[in-house]
Amino acid sequence: MRAVCVLALTGAAFAGQAFPSFAGTGLKRIHDPGRVTYSVHLTSCHARDRGQLPDPSCTPGSIDPAVTAADIHSTICRAGWTTKVRPPEAQTERAKYNVAYPAYHISHGAVSELDHLVPLELGGSNDITNLWPEVGRVPNPKDKVEYALNRAVCQGKVSLAAAQNAIASNWLTALARLGLTGGHGGGAWCTAAASYNSTYHDYDVYVHSNQPDRTVTATASNGASHSYHTNGSGYADVFLRAAAGNRVTVTVGAASCSTTA
């Protein structure tokens, strides 16, 4: 018998949290910028496809209703959007280790990323229904799919709703399902994301590229710069003493990209 995750709504437990709303069928809509919310209680969850996909009963995905097709150019297509709506690390760490890890039966020593199933770049919410511990290398291959879908939406190639539903259903097949064979063309490319590390008081600049075993340099607008190298799969984590709000430019091999600290 297949185990499932039980979602229980308890009014007392979630007092003060964002209340979910639904627009007919589809993804739950929860407005919670800058904070992790808990619209459900997770019990026992089981990842699929050798850990690459979350349990759809526990983590079906949810979206912020404030992000609409009409305003994408002032929200998800605008530089700095994810920094504006991402919760502080203290809240995401609590969600990861105190809620998601026990629910998904993951030990604290595992290497994982607390992933937004529907990414913030596509208007995903910060609710626990949209967060799950994706075990494996960080940054993970899903980042490339998220970037490609964001660009496709912002360039008018696919609708926001189609991209949200495709990645919530199965990020492994989302690009093919929408007729997007890739997201970067045939040349050199990279993507970057910055996350503040409160332990070391600097930023982890996560880089994903098709430039393996190359020097990667991250430079912040405050002048701070640091270099490292990508691994055989084109990934790197560059430590950078940037300041909040700094634009971070990354060069790796023949590729360049940017993010905001």
pLDDT of 13 strictly over 70: no
- For 31-64, write each residue's pLDDT tens digit: 999 999 999 999 999 998 878 899 999 999 999 9
Give pLDDT, residue 72: 96
Residue 223's pLDDT band, with cuts at 50, 70 and 90, is very high
Give pLDDT, residue 12: 30
Cis amide bond preceding 56, omega within 30 = no
Q: Which sequence spans correspond to the domains of the chain? A: 28-177, 190-260
Give pLDDT, residue 192: 85
Give pLDDT, residue 112: 86
113: its two tokens: 């990323």
Give pLDDT, residue 3: 36
